[in-house]
Structure 1
């Protein structure tokens, strides 16, 4: 895979947890789908990946299937880059409580599936830790956004084969499409000393990242998608894994990485607004993950937190060396006793406690766009 600098990692943000998928059988007899129940299709990186990378040929830099990952909630590693659940896990709970439905079994797309996968169909999670909007980002080690779209196209065909055309179209049209992508397209420059941006201006590079994302959105729309949810990027320079690379700023954040995230978020917001003006029926919400994380970093006590810069698991300054679990290049690592007091679980990802708080904000309306997440399920 990638040649990794000992202080860095190939993946960043967390993961999502929505997925339910299984091999198809050409039969419609077992399909059950409540017309009032909304399916979820999840695209993204480690912020949303609930275990797809457990099933691909990659390295431990892009996997979290070893202790102490998962120690807080699951008591075993699931592939989620956290001590427990992710934002999407909590969002799924909110959704199915809102719809008075039984909480579905949520599986990553690549996880082996049961024969009766079409019963009570709820959607699928395509996200892959380390993935970027650009195919070249950690190429060969992750499921990039274009490949995730390919999986989605296969899934749409499976639904149409299993069901009649109208029933499949109903699912695809009423589904909510979630995205968390872009972080790795920028962090790769700092983590691997990549030359990915050297031939482009910052604006050109950000334009390519957003362009690839909007291409996927347009394909989803052609398949019938109308409701979309997005997370913007956090302050990349303040992640423990990038803080350790800073030698200039007073607050310890890597300014160049932070400014790229700011530019990306600005272009993303503008692009989504433009799509909404051009395409009738396109509805979206954009969760300001950047602001939510910044508020916790700068005023942790307001959120019941005590440590806002140092990761719970890792080594080096801020525990910013990506060694959590001892399975990566650096074997030594520290592990805190109470992850709930920390913002960061490892060098690049957050704790379950912080994800839970963010999910509350996300569900409750801390977002932009003419729609709210909750409104998609009412």
Structure 2
């Protein structure tokens, strides 16, 4: 506000587009990795807590002046190479159905919570951007979209680790890389490649067109 002035700053905040990604790490890397959480909460109870946290977060953004908010849904986390390796088998090519079902259930809660928030907060335009279906489509019908590898990641051993595990004191270590990342859906055990991300982004933009028109 010191730079733009209060009036212009509030106008910038009000007119800005905010993109929020919510829930994927909480479900996969928090709830399912932590056995103590699974002893205390069922998946439904845990995702109820996440939905309430989401509602609180959006209301805090709204209180700061945000009005246009795109919320990226939880993707097909049961199809991530790391998820399959951890919760099924390193040799399996099938998505973990339970994880995908929890993601779908939570996405429904995100959507219903978003609808309630729009009714409760005047001028709020919060839109759920579906990442689940386009990711699932890439994995189950890769040839239609120009991909050939959906189980292995391009980086490392390809099944479990993520990129940051190969760095030690900011020094790169020797790791395996695939010859052509554009043919891979996954860069490592958890993250999509640049090519896959471009495809997903195109779908998210079409879902969120009301935020930018």
176 and 323 in structure 1: CA distance in 2 versus 1, 3 angstrom threshold: closer
Deviation at 1:272, TM superposition (A): 0.5
Runs of 4 or more off by more than 6 Å in structure 1? none
Deviation at 1:336, TM superposition (A): 0.4
- Matched residue, 1:180: 21
CA-to-aligned-CA distance 1:140-187 (integer Å, 9 cap, x gap) = xxxxxxxxxxxxxxxxxxxx2333221111111111111012111111
How far apart are the structure 1 equivalents of 2:75 and 2:29? 15
Look up the SS of the partner of 1:245 in the other structure: helix
Look up the SS of the partner of 2:161 in the other structure: coil
Specify which of 190, 210, 213 is matched with residue 348 of structure 1.
Answer: 190
- Matched residue, 1:336: 178
Are positions 1:228 and 2:104 aligned together? no
Contact 2:155-2:187 at 8 Å conserved across structures: yes
- Matched residue, 1:104: none
Look up the SS of the partner of 1:314 in the other structure: coil
Are positions 1:237 and 2:78 aligned together? yes
Specify which of 122, 145, 151 is matched with residue 280 of structure 1.
Answer: 122
Deviation at 1:285, TM superposition (A): 2.3
Look up the SS of the partner of 1:162 in the other structure: coil
1:190-205 alignment, distance < 5 Å: 192-205=33-46
Look up the SS of the partner of 2:101 in the other structure: helix
Q: Which ranges in structure 1 are unaligned for 5 or more consecutive residues?
A: 1-159, 368-372
338 and 219 in structure 1: CA distance in 2 versus 1, 3 angstrom threshold: same
How far apart are the structure 2 equivalents of 1:300 and 1:167? 47
More strand by share: 2
CA-to-aligned-CA distance 1:87-110 (integer Å, 9 cap, x gap) = xxxxxxxxxxxxxxxxxxxxxxxx
247 and 172 in structure 1: CA distance in 2 versus 1, 3 angstrom threshold: closer
How far apart are the structure 1 equivalents of 2:94 and 2:209? 37
TM, length-normalised to structure 1 = 0.51
Contact 2:125-2:211 at 8 Å conserved across structures: no
Report the RMSD for the aligned CA atoms in angstroms: 2.2
- Matched residue, 1:327: 167
Q: Which ranges in structure 2 are unaligned for 5 or more consecutive residues?
A: none
TM, length-normalised to structure 2 = 0.86
How many residue pairs are counted as aligned between the two chains?
206
